[in-house]
Amino acid sequence: MLAAHKVGDRLEVDVDKTGAAPILVVKSPAGAVAGSLTFNGYLEIIQCIAGGYKYEAVILSVSGGVYEVRVQAI
């Protein structure tokens, strides 16, 4: 759950393939799914992860239940 995270935290970006369509998710350092990501170009990130690239999401701001993150290759 994202509520335990704050500005500056880094989360692993991964793909959840358990449903009918893959979903881009962020995971806590312990490996628990903390939330999902959606933005223009997220399907490209899913393809890159399938190709072996790794990404992280850095929390930039929190407003209520909305988290703004920067997704970057690591």
Region label for 51, one of left (φ > 0), alpha (ψ between -120 and 50) or beta (otherwise): alpha
Domain layout of the chain by residue ranges: 2-73
pLDDT value at 41 more than 80: yes
CATH tag, 2-73? 2.40.50
First to last CA, the chain: 23
pLDDT value at 61 more than 80: yes
Distance, CA of 42 to CA of 73 (rounded, Å): 13
pLDDT value at 54 more than 70: yes
Tens-place pLDDT, residues 5-37: 889 999 999 999 998 999 999 998 888 898 899
